[in-house]
Structure formats: structure tokens, C-alpha cells
């Protein structure tokens, strides 16, 4: 039997775009995305497509095509669960902030709530798909909750982790490197796997759909993120050596990336990786390793996070040091706040830590980001609880114009690699700044020769003077 009704619990960065693409490619399936956050659902239903809660290039057109046809956003969670033959769980799985595993383990309370809600509402057999990133063996906990409802409903649990990256979510979903589906080896388990394979086959070539057992699938997701983050920490570690030796990290990256065993992607030195997942997933992996007594494995992966923290710290330290060891009362302009370009997401963005460090040195920070709202920036700082909200608002100002943000500043720090920064009128910016005028390019995107000719003192991550 083919799937006719899908429900996705969680209308966030993954649930929204993923379901939009499934609905676009499978007009014969009704897809309803539900969330307890009514504001978020209202934003997904907004007629003004520029106000969707998630900014992703190309997403607005897909929503326009499918919404109201076979794609629906609703806060009626129970009704949608009841109607569905297949339920995706795409809720957040943040790092635990309390109790055992605090600061490391994944907090599974939202997942458990979903499982309990599915158990209490369901009247017919369903396939439950883990879309959220979960610790290996979570499926058994979900199964346990679902199988103990006592109403005889049968559930199959599949793991179908998501590999999209923000900013390129639509392309990643339309043309994934692979789709991974983990299921039980039983007859019913394999039937469920095939039903999900059938859905993806509407647009993904069969040879890119990989099926495995549930545990391999769950662990592959954590492994993929750990490897990706490790690559960034590795290149960032080399960037510090470059700065001491006069080597240039872009040249080193090109030289090693031409080795087909290493490959050229994901070798861009930066002020440090951000995003909601790399840190949380590695911490989770470290926790899992520790819980099995695998201390060397845990230490090995923890170093990826330690290196990333160091990269952010040394970026702000370098600003302070270069500005004659004090930034107190000096205006420092931030270009970018998002954790990478083409997204409005700021979770774990390096900009937050760098700003916090500079504010502690009593710098006056002025921020411009083309997609991030003022409220978000202040909320990010408030979450750190380093100083009062009032103090943050006195020391840090948010601008909607980059030239205004840079005016009268002593230094500019590039925190996000937005394309528009490259083509600014840098001579005009220089003219309006305090002298000497410094640029700290945490993304290595600006043209050194051009800026130095204008008169800037230019510092690029991973490049000696
Ligand atoms: N953000 C990303 O690029 C990627 C995230 N992931 C994983 O996907 C999962 C979701 O991530 P995001 O979409 O970024 O999170 P998010 O925080 O943007 O969205 C999660 C949504 O779930 C809702 N929710 C929580 N509990 C609920 C409940 N009981 N009933 C209904 N709605 C509920 C929240 O209100 C929120 O809107 C996480 O496990 C994450 O690790 C995986 C790949 C990429
Ligand atoms: O599980 C997830 O959440 C997702 O995490 C990452 O995606 P995302 O965090 O959206 O973005 P990335 O492109 O991976 O970038 C993460 C961070 O690393 C930084 N980065 C990336 C690449 C690079 O070469 N250098 C570098 O500093 C980025 O600027 C950004 O801050 C993975 O790439 C996705 O496959 C995964 O699905």
C-alpha cells in the first residue's frame, strides 16, 4: 500500500524545507507539517513569501507551488497524526542543559513527547520516521513507548536522517548525495523501508537511496557531522600555523585538496564553525563514547570542539592585540552575524562568541547582517548571560546599512561570508573610518591587494603578514 498522508512533527529548518520538497515532488501525497509553535505555523502560512520563518534560496517558489495543494502547515498536531500513514519526527534535539549528561548528551524530551503523543492518538498502524538527529539506539526507546499503548496499533520505526546544509537546503534536498534509510530486518520493517524508498524515488535516483539497519543509520548521521566538523577544525588548526610561518591557508587547502583522496570541499579556514548541529552532535558522540567507557575515542572527538573554541577566541584576541592592546570605547563593525551565508540562522554562530569577548573588553560593536534581525542578535547575547540586556544594548548597535555600521569604526571584522561584502565600495568605507583602519577577515573573502592599496591594514585568517 502506498503512503497517502504524511504528517511531520516540527516545522523548523529541517521539517519545513524537507516536507515542502516531498510535497512538490509527490503531488499524490498529502503532507501536513505541524508544530506547537503557533507563530511559526502562522509564518509558514503567510501570504508574503518573504516572511517565511526559514530563509532558504528557492524555498519560496516551492512553497508557492505546493502550499494549499498538498502541503499544509497546521498547529492541530493530534488531527494530523491521526490521519497520517507515515509520521516524520523533526523536532529539535538540543544539548541537555540539566541533570545527567548536562552540556553533552542530546536532550530527548521533545522526541519522547512526540512518541507519547503518537501513541495516544493513533488508531491505525503507522510508520514513524526519525528525521531528527538522534543518538544511536534511540529508535528502541521510541519503539518501547509506542509498543506499550495497549491498543494493538502496530508501529514501524525508521531512521531517515537529514543531511541538508542551511543556505543550500533546497538544492541538497532536490539533489542529495544520498538518502539514508534504516529499518528493521523483519518482513514488516523491510516493507516500511520500501514505502519510504518509494517516496524518495519520485525524484532521487535509486542508486542514491541507501538502506541499512536502524543503528547504522542513526550513527552515520552523527559520524557525517563529526567528520565534516573535524575537517573544519583541521584546516583551522593549520590556519594558525600559516599565520606564524607565512604560508597561506588557501594555497595549502588547494594543494591538499587536489589529492583525490582528500578532495577540495570543506577546506575553508574560518573564524570557527557554527550552526545548530556540529557542536551538539559531536558532544553527543563524545557522551556516547564515554558512556561505553571509550575514553580515547571521546577525547579524540572532543578535540574538534576544543579547536573550534580556540579559533573563535584567538580571532577576538588578535583584534584586541592589533588595536594596540585595547578596544575599550572603540567602535568595531561586524559584517555578518549568521553562522554562514544565505541563512538567517545564528545558532552557535562564531559572531556571538567574538562579540561577547569584545564587549567584555568594553568595545562598541556595530553589527550589519543582511538577513538577521536585531531582536535575534540581542537574544543571542542575552542567552550567554555575560552581562545585562541593557548593557548589551548600550554597547552593541544593530544597523540595516553596512556603510552606517562601518562609519567611524576603528576596525571591521568579517564574520559571515555574505557575497555582497566583496563588492562594497571599500574606498568609501575606508574614508569614513578612524585611522589606521583595520579589517579582520574571518572568512578570507576580501581582496587583500585592493584593500591594502586603499590603505587598510588587512588581516586574513590563515595568512601571514
Ligand atoms: N538545522 C539543520 O540544518 C539540520 C538539523 N538536523 C536535525 O533536525 C532536527 C530539527 O532541527 P531544526 O529543524 O533545525 O530545529 P528547529 O528548532 O528549527 O525546529 C524544531 C521544531 O520542532 C517543534 N517542536 C518541538 N517539540 C514539538 C512537539 N512535541 N510537537 C510539535 N512540534 C514540536 C519546535 O517548536 C520547533 O519549531 C534536529 O534533530 C537537528 O539536529 C538535521 C540536519 C540539518
Ligand atoms: O546536521 C546538520 O545540521 C547539518 O550540519 C551541516 O550543515 P550546516 O551546519 O547547515 O552548514 P555547513 O555548510 O556544514 O557549515 C557549518 C559551519 O562550518 C563552517 N565551515 C564550513 C565549511 C568550511 O570549509 N569551513 C567552515 O568554516 C560554516 O561557515 C558554518 O559555520 C552539514 O553540512 C549538513 O550535512 C548537516 O545536515
192 & 310 share domain: no
C-alpha 31/C-alpha 66 separation (Å) is 10
Whether residue 200 is found in the same domain as residue 316: no
Task: Render the burial of 122-140: b for 16+ CB within 10 Å, e for the rest.
Answer: beeebbbbbbbbbbbebbe
In-domain check, residue 60: yes
The pLDDT score that the predictor gives to residue 90 is 98
Candidates 321, 322, 339; CA nearest to 270 is: 339
**Claim to verify: residue 164 and residue 26 sit in the same structural domain:** yes
Angle at 25 between CA 171 and CA 180, to 5 degrees: 65
- Whether residue 327 is found in the same domain as residue 441: yes
Whether residue 324 sits in one domain with residue 204: no
Residues 201 and 319 in one domain: no
pTM score: 0.96
260 domain-assigned = no
Residue having the nearest C-alpha atom to atom 42 of ligand 1 = 162
**Grid cell listed for 224:** 557525517
- Give 116-171 pLDDT, tens digit per residue: 999 999 999 999 999 999 999 899 989 999 988 767 899 999 999 999 999 999 99
Which residues neighbour 96 within 8 Å (Cβ) at sequence distance 6 or greater?
102, 103, 104, 105, 106, 107
In a domain, 12, yes or no: yes
Q: Is 455 marked within a binding site?
A: no
Residue 149: what pLDDT? 74
Q: Using alpha carbons only, what angle is made at residue 215 by residues 210 and 219, rounded to the nearest 5 degrees?
A: 80
Q: Do both 205 and 314 map to the same domain? A: no
Residues 200 and 323 in one domain: no
pLDDT in tens, 65-76: 999 999 999 999
Question: Could you identify the residue written with the cell 505555523?
Answer: 41
257 assigned to some structural domain: no
- Helices marked H in 89-161: 109-121, 138-147
Based on DSSP, count helices (H) and strands (E) in the chain, helices before strands.
Answer: 18, 14
Contact assessment for residue 89 and residue 11, using Cβ atoms and an 8 Å cutoff = no
- Domain with residue 198: its CATH number is 3.40.50.720
Residues 6+ apart with CB under 8 A from 137: 215, 218
Query: How far is 63 from 41, CA to CA, in rounded Å?
Result: 13
Which of 340, 21, 13 lies closest to 171 in space, CA to CA? 21
Residue 304's contacts (CB-CB under 8 Å, 6 or more residues apart) are 226, 229, 230, 233, 282
Beta bridge partners of 67: 71
Helix or strand holding residue 321 (H, E)? helix 295-322
User: Which atom of ligand 1 approaches the CA of 113 most closely?
Assistant: 29
Is residue 316 included in any domain, yes or no?
yes
Task: Looking at the structure, tell me whether residues 63 and 191 fall in a common domain.
Answer: yes
Q: Is residue 13 located within the same domain as residue 117?
A: yes
Question: How far apart are the C-alpha atoms of 170 and 65, rounded to whole Å?
Answer: 14
Distance 165 CA to ligand 2 centre (A): 6
277 is catalytic: yes
**Closest C-alpha among 147, 44, 37, 145 to residue 92:** 37
pLDDT more than 90, % of the chain: 96
271 is in an annotated binding site: yes
pLDDT at 218 over 70: yes
Q: pLDDT at residue 465 above 60?
A: no
Determine the Cα–Cα distance for residues 29 and 20; give it in Å rounded to an integer.
12
Q: Are 55 and 177 part of one and the same domain?
A: yes
> Confidence band (pLDDT; 50, 70, 90) for 401?
very high
Q: Is residue 144 part of a domain?
A: yes
- Establish if 287 belongs to a structural domain: no
Q: What is the pLDDT of residue 46?
A: 96
Q: Is the pLDDT of residue 414 over 60?
A: yes
- What pLDDT does 443 receive? 97
pLDDT at 293: 98
What cell does 413 get?
571584522
Given 212, 229, 248, the domain boundary residue is 212
Residue 9 sits in the same domain as residue 120: yes
Average pLDDT on 392-405 reads: 98
Dig out the grid coordinates for 297 from the structure. Answer: 575515542
pLDDT of residue 151: 78
Q: How many domains does the chain have?
A: 2
265-295 residue pLDDT tens: 999 999 999 999 999 999 999 999 999 999 9
Cell of 383: 542567552
Q: Is residue 279 part of a domain?
A: no
pLDDT band at 451 (very low <50, low <70, confident <90, very high): very high
Domain boundary pick from 212, 238, 262: 212
Give the domain-ending residue among 157, 189, 212.
Answer: 212
Query: In ligand 2, which atom is closest to the CA atom of 163?
Result: 37
Which residues have CB under 6 Å of ligand 1?
Answer: 9-15, 34-37, 40, 77, 90-93, 110, 113-114, 132-133, 162, 164, 166, 276-277
Q: Give me the residue label for grid cell 518501547.
A: 144
User: Average pLDDT over the chain, rounded to whole?
Assistant: 96
Question: Does 413 carry a binding-site annotation?
Answer: no
pLDDT for 211: 98
pLDDT tens digits, one per residue of 327-367: 999 999 999 999 999 999 999 999 999 999 999 999 999 99
Residue span of the structural domain in which 182 resides:
5-212
Amino acid at each position: 500500500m502506498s503512503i497517502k498522508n504524511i504528517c511531520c512533527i516540527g516545522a523548523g529548518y529541517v521539517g519545513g524545507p524537507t516536507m515542502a520538497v516531498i510535497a512538490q515532488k509527490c503531488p499524490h501525497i498529502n503532507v501536513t507539517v505541524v508544530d506547537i509553535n503557533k507563530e511559526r505555523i502562522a509564518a509558514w502560512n503567510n501570504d508574503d513569501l518573504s516572511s517565511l520563518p526559514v530563509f532558504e534560496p528557492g524555498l519560496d517558489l516551492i512553497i508557492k507551488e505546493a502550499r494549499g495543494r498538498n502541503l499544509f502547515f497546521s498547529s492541530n498536531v493530534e488531527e494530523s497524526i491521526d490521519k497520517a500513514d507515515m509520521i516524520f519526527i523533526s523536532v529539535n534535539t538540543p544539548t541537555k542543559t540539566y541533570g545527567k549528561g548536562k552540556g553533552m548528551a542530546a536532550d530527548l524530551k521533545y522526541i519522547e513527547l512526540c512518541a507519547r503523543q503518537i501513541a495516544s492518538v493513533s488508531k491505525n498502524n503507522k510508520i514513524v520516521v526519525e528525521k531528527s538527529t538522534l543518538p544511536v539506539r534511540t529508535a528502541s526507546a521510541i519503539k518501547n513507548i509506542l509498543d506499550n499503548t495497549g491498543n494493538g496499533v502496530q508501529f514501524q520505526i525508521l531512521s531517515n536522517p537529514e543531511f541538508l546544509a542551511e543556505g543550500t537546503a533546497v538544492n541538497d534536498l532536490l539533489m542529495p548525495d544520498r538518502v539514508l534509510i534504516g529499518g528493521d530486518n523483519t518482513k514488516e520493517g523491510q516493507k516500511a523501508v520500501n514505502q519510504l524508498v518509494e517516496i524518495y524515488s519520485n525524484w532521487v535516483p535509486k542508486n542514491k537511496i541507501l538502506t541499512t539497519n536502524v543503528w547504522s543509520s542513526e550513527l552515520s548521521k552523527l559520524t557525517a557531522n563529526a567528520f565534516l566538523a573535524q575537517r573544519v577544525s583541521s584546516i583551522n588548526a593549520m590556519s594558525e600555523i600559516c599565520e606564524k610561518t607565512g604560508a597561506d591557508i588557501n594555497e595549502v587547502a588547494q594543494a591538499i585538496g587536489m589529492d583525490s583522496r582528500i578532495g577540495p570541499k570543506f577546506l575553508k579556514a574560518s573564524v570557527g564553525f557554527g550552526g545548530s548541529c556540529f557542536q551538539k552532535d559531536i558532544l553527543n558522540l563524545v557522551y556516547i563514547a564515554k558512556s561505553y567507557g571509550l575514553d580515547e575515542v571521546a577525547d579524540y572527538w572532543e578535540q574538534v570542539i576544543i579547536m573550534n573554541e580556540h579559533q573563535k577566541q584567538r580571532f577576538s584576541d588578535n583584534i584586541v592585540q592589533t588595536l594596540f592592546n585595547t578596544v575599550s570605547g572603540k567602535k568595531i563593525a561586524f559584517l555578518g552575524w549568521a553562522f554562514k551565508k544565505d541563512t538567517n540562522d545564528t545558532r552557535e554562530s562564531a559572531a556571538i562568541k567574538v562579540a561577547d569577548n569584545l564587549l567584555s573588553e568594553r568595545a562598541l560593536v556595530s553589527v550589519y547582517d543582511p538577513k538577521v534581525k536585531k531582536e535575534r542578535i540581542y537574544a543571542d547575547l542575552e542567552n550567554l548571560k555575560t552581562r545585562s540586556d541593557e548593557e548589551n544594548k548600550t554597547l552593541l548597535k544593530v544597523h540595516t546599512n553596512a556603510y552606517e555600521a562601518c562609519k567611524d569604526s576603528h576596525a571591521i571584522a568579517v564574520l559571515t561570508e555574505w557575497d555582497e561584502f566583496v563588492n562594497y565600495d571599500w574606498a568609501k568605507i575606508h574614508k569614513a573610518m578612524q585611522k589606521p583602519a583595520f579589517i579582520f577577515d574571518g572568512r578570507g573573502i576580501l581582496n587583500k591587494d585592493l584593500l591594502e592599496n586603499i590603505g587598510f591594514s588587512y588581516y586574513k585568517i590563515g595568512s601571514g603578514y
